[in-house]
Amino acid sequence: MSGRGRTGGGARGQTGGSRGGGRRGCKGARQPLSQQRPGTLRKRLAGSAGTKGTIRGAERAGGKRGAPPPTNKVPPRTPSTVINPRRPKPSERNHKQLGGIGAWESRPLAKYAAEVFRRLHTLYPNAYCELDYTSPWQLIVATVLSAQCTDKRVNLVTPALFAVYPTPAALAAAQQSHVEEIIKSTGFFRNKAKAIIGLAGAVHSLHHGEVPPRMADLITLPGVGRKTANVILGNAFAINDGVVVDTHVARLSHRIGLTFQKDPLRIEQDLMVLFPRKDWTMLAHLLIWHGRRICEARRPRCPECPLADICPSSLIA
């Protein structure tokens, strides 16, 4: 009996060693469960159950307490360097899209852009801002009034406005209802009257009645965004600080294939990368003139367009 028992025990031990100990052989043979101390199995089972329990517990905790509550809101943009240091900075992004920093100069897109500029400049060699003005102050007021309105209509209204209110101080003290009456035909006249009176007050009180020739100052004025500031800097001060992106510039930049962006600020960034700084003001004039005369919003007249053979949106086969 004892001999059979020893033999049987040995066989079980060897079998157990070859099954489990084979894999864990480097740590030595493990005792069969039947020979381990009574608490060991309980501890091992409790340990593994505890691990699973901990993971599930953490998942549950993560779902309920640790993680933020689900929301449909798009998280606000934060500086890219904080979230992902490998993401290009906003100033580098356009270079990246065009093939990497410095690479854009040799890219066909830059050559194409230069050819577009050359052809449009040949067509409109004397393109200019079509709003009438004699001073930066008059131009900034006319630009605010030109929102959702034609330049021709604004030019019909501004002489009467500047005859009654020639300076920022005079307009700042004006009755809103009277200003509304004068500018009524430009549309959105209540908002525009309020905007130009507020603008006049800020220019009068903060800048001694003079329109400041700096982007940083201009965009702090009420009703003045980057587009208006670029109009003032480029035309009243001959400073190329950016590209005016209005409805015509945005539409033509897409049609001609100069950008795929929709946000005006990003369109402006793409154009600033593609064209030399000295051409930024003229570029806006050329695109605006072309958009008004040939590449109209609803009916582009491609057969008359000098870009018809290179434009990706050309209707000419």
Distance, CA of 223 to CA of 5 (rounded, Å): 99
Residue 198 neighbours by CB distance under 10 Å: 16
Q: Catalytic positions, please?
A: 227, 246
CB of 273 to ligand SF4, least distance (A): 20
Task: Please name which of 112, 78, 80 lies closest in space to residue 96, comparing C-alpha atoms.
Answer: 80
| Contact in structure between 138 and 158 (CB atoms under 8 Å) | yes
CB of 257 to ligand SF4, least distance (A): 9
CB of 298 to ligand SF4, least distance (A): 12
Query: Rule CB under 6 A: which residues touch ligand SF4?
Result: 255-256, 294-295, 300-302, 305, 307-308, 311, 313-315
Under 8 Å CB-to-CB from 313, ≥6 apart: which residues? 254, 255, 256, 257, 300
Long-range CB contacts (< 8 A, 24+ apart) of 149-152? Answer: 149/186, 149/187
| Contact in structure between 258 and 270 (CB atoms under 8 Å) | yes
With 0-12 / 13-18 / 19 or more C-beta atoms within 10 angstroms meaning exposed / middle / buried, residue 7 is: exposed
Smaller CB separation from ligand SF4, 202 or 308: 308
Smaller CB separation from ligand SF4, 157 or 252: 252
Smaller CB separation from ligand SF4, 149 or 302: 302
Smaller CB separation from ligand SF4, 69 or 108: 108
